Amino acid sequence: MTFVRVRLMLDKMPSGDCLEVLFNGEEPARNLPRSAIELGHTILHQDNGSMLLRKA
């Protein structure tokens, strides 16, 4: 469910903008980066519980 919310936010943003995502747990830590990369977005930074994405 976390990536659905991230995707909705990314859809509203222009290409090249950045989005900071905060999450809890191991499942989002595995799934969020994988899903973002599959859609062509860039992970600028990933830490324990947060990730900074650049929209493709």
Which pLDDT does position 1 carry in this prediction? 67
Q: Nearest CA to 18 among 9, 27, 30, 8?
A: 9
Total domain count, the chain: 1
Which pLDDT does position 55 carry in this prediction? 98
Domain that holds residue 36: 2-54
Residue-level pLDDT, tens digit, the chain, 56 residues:
689 999 999 999 999 999 999 999 999 999 999 999 999 999 999 999 999 999 99
Which pLDDT does position 2 carry in this prediction? 85
What pTM value is reported for the model?
0.89
